[in-house]
Amino acid sequence: MKIHLMFRENMAGEKPKFCSLSDNLKADLELYCILEHMANGDKTVFDACEDALMRPLQTLEDIGYRQQALSDALRNRDTVYRLYEIAAGTSRFPRFHPTASDMTGSFEGAVALISAYTALLKELRGVADRQLAAFHSEAFRGLFNMFLRELSDGFFARVQGQLDEIGDINNLLISAKLGSDLKFVGYTLRYKDKGFRLKWHMAPSYAVDVEKNPAGLHDLHRRRERAIIDAANVLAQTARFLEAFFIDLRSQLAFYIGCLNLVDKLGRLGMPYCVPELLPADSNDRHWQGLYDMSLLFTKGSAVVGNDLEATGKRLYIITGANQGGKSTFLRSIGQAQLMAQCGMPVGAAGFKAPIRRGVFTHFIKEEDRSVESGKLDEELVRMRQIADFLERGSMVLFNESFSSTNEREGSEICRQITKALVENGMELFSVTHLYTFAASFLGDGQTQFLKAQRREDSRRTFKILPGEPAETAFGEDLYRQIFLQRRV
């Protein structure tokens, strides 16, 4: 039984590749904070959502398949939670580790596990019976139809009959034949059918008195082990298959549980979410309403400012403006939304439309590493070289105050050359910068969208990012007055 809740059955190739430089990506975009709130303390949910987030899908069909399943989950959350509860129930079962030295123990352990798994399969079949009509996505309907097709009443009757047949290890029917040297060979575990039972009861018998003849008991045990070895191996394979099935089912359902947890938390904090619209990879359009940084929302614990954008035919976004005006937060929100959109998750916005990207990369300003002897600029260039090793046409790069560790002229020239080369080679760039010379060098370029952190006349920050050309100042004097002059008063 194959589960296809995350990927289409006919999906070509293997899973999408894992994001390159994923540790930097998760740290710069503060994804751990989001994952922790999705997981709600459940490691399986955390791991499933992290894996999905770091494997962005690359086709509209694959993303749509998962989004339809998410919509089903949102409409039928109680059923999805119930499915996950059933699958997670196997976590209480002992892990099955058969040993050749104890074939009887392996036999009994496998029978017990198969019985337990069969009870859970009956529950899954019951959910499918009751809820199939409420689901419309290919993913969930495929899962339920598989349960109905494979887990029929006849299947359960056969399984239960066989479990009853072998359930009592001390009441098995075993046959053997006499070989050379008067030794028994061909030990076989038999069905207790009527014909064989009649022959067995009419055959001469010998009862072993275990108190007077413990060696005889040991001999019977050894003969039974030889007779059940094939059956024990088959039972062990079945137990391992069922174990793997439920682990896979739990893992795939965990992704949707994480999405449901996320939506619930966003609702409690009064923030919107949407199922995003993805555009083809060759598109250069972006549109969103109320886009916000989820990690800031969860850290703050109350509503945060969202931003709107309407951009067509742009490959480069240069974001300038006042210090502490929300530029880095805005940049994080873009990266978070891109990854979440491409893995089929809900996005923190009232509406979000963006093209598919081959990969997402971040180059954020770092605290200076005292162990790096070559200086901060060298460290930034080393990280840029690492990113360049993985870039493909159609990738997306987020720069946050990059190459600002040197003077204005040198930093602007480095940033300009790198930015120009990436854009000319088909990358999409978002660059938060205070380097006016760099930003101004792209004025008049039709592929560049200029954005600016809003600052009111009284120097207050609204944390809104609006269309606007760069200015030569970042209004650092506002922070000076706020930090130093107000303290004196």
Closest Cα to residue 327, out of 458, 413, 215, 432?
Answer: 432
Better-predicted residue by pLDDT, 226 or 376: 376
Token look-up 């269309």 returns 467
DSSP classification of residue 167? S
Q: How far is CA 389 from CA 57, 289, 385, 394, 420, in A?
A: 21, 34, 6, 14, 17
Round to whole Å and give the CA distance between 148 and 125: 6
| Type of residue numbered 173 | L
Distances (CA, A) of 354 to 4, 335, 339, 429: 26, 11, 11, 13
Q: Which of 11, 49, 23, 64 is nearest to 356 (CA)?
A: 64
How do strand 316-321 and strand 428-432 relate by DSSP bridges? parallel
Instruction: Encode pLDDT of 359-376 as tens digits.
Output: 999 999 876 544 444 468
Q: Are 463 and 326 in contact (CB under 8 A)?
A: yes
Element (H, E) at 39: helix 31-39
Say how far apart CA 38 and CA 29 lie, in whole Å. 16
Give the chain's largest Cα–Cα span.
109
pLDDT, tens only, 381-437:
999 999 999 999 999 999 999 988 888 899 999 999 999 999 999 999 999 999 999
How far is residue 155's CA from residue 171's CA, in Å, rounded to a whole number?
A: 24
8 A C-beta contact, residue 388 and residue 419:
no
Per-residue H/E/C for 90-104: HHHCCCCCCCCCCHH
Q: Strand 396-400 relative to strand 428-432: parallel, antiparallel, unpaired?
A: parallel
Phi first, then psi: what are they for 151, rounded to 5°? -105, 60
Express each pLDDT in 140-181 by its tens digit: 999 999 999 999 999 999 988 888 877 776 677 777 777 777
| CA triple 72-74-79, angle to 5 deg | 75
Question: Whole-prediction pTM value?
Answer: 0.87
Q: What gap in Å lies between CA 136 and CA 373, rounded to an integer?
A: 59
Q: What are phi and psi of 383, to 5 degrees?
A: -65, -35
**Model confidence over 17-50: pLDDT tens digits?**
899 999 999 999 999 999 999 999 999 999 999 9
Beta bridge partners of 363: 399
For 347, phi then psi, to 5°, come to: -115, 145
477 pLDDT band, cuts 50/70/90, is low
